[in-house]
Copies of this chain bind each other. A is one copy, B any other.
């Protein structure tokens, strides 16, 4: 609780902020590029799938074993989404029983740079965030 009135919340003109650019460009909220693309990339399981495939090509059951608490249904769906977006390739081998291999496409590879940077940030700041959470939760309990 502060007494300063919140006058003049000046919006910075941040030339590197996509939000500012989109707004100038007309910004149709139903075609928001972040939501359209990042919603897939950053969905619950896709980051893990991409990290695992970054280690090398992998098969369906291999991914299932590598990502211990993903369900088959969610793995299938995540793989389909990534394939649809052109980030991974799906190859069927006609062995018996058939095997299916997933691997990153060049487009998928090109995503790994930014994605690993973000994952790196989150592991770098994991402790700080954990203690922020603990502080917030104990303040909430006190209230």
Contact = CB atoms under 8 A, between A and B. Distances in A.
Q: Which of A1, A20, A38, A111 has the most CB of B within 10 A?
A: A38
Contact of A18 (B84, B107, B116): B116
Contact of A121 (B6, B51, B54, B110): B110
Nearest to A21: B123
Contacts of A85: 129, 132-133
Q: Which size class do A's interface residues fall under?
A: 35 or more
Copies of the polypeptide in the assembly: 2
A51 B17 contact: yes
Interface of A: 1-6, 9-12, 14, 16-20, 29-30, 32-39, 41-44, 47-48, 51-52, 54-59, 62, 66-69, 83-86, 91-95, 99, 101, 107, 110-111, 113-123, 125-126, 128-129, 132-133, 135-137
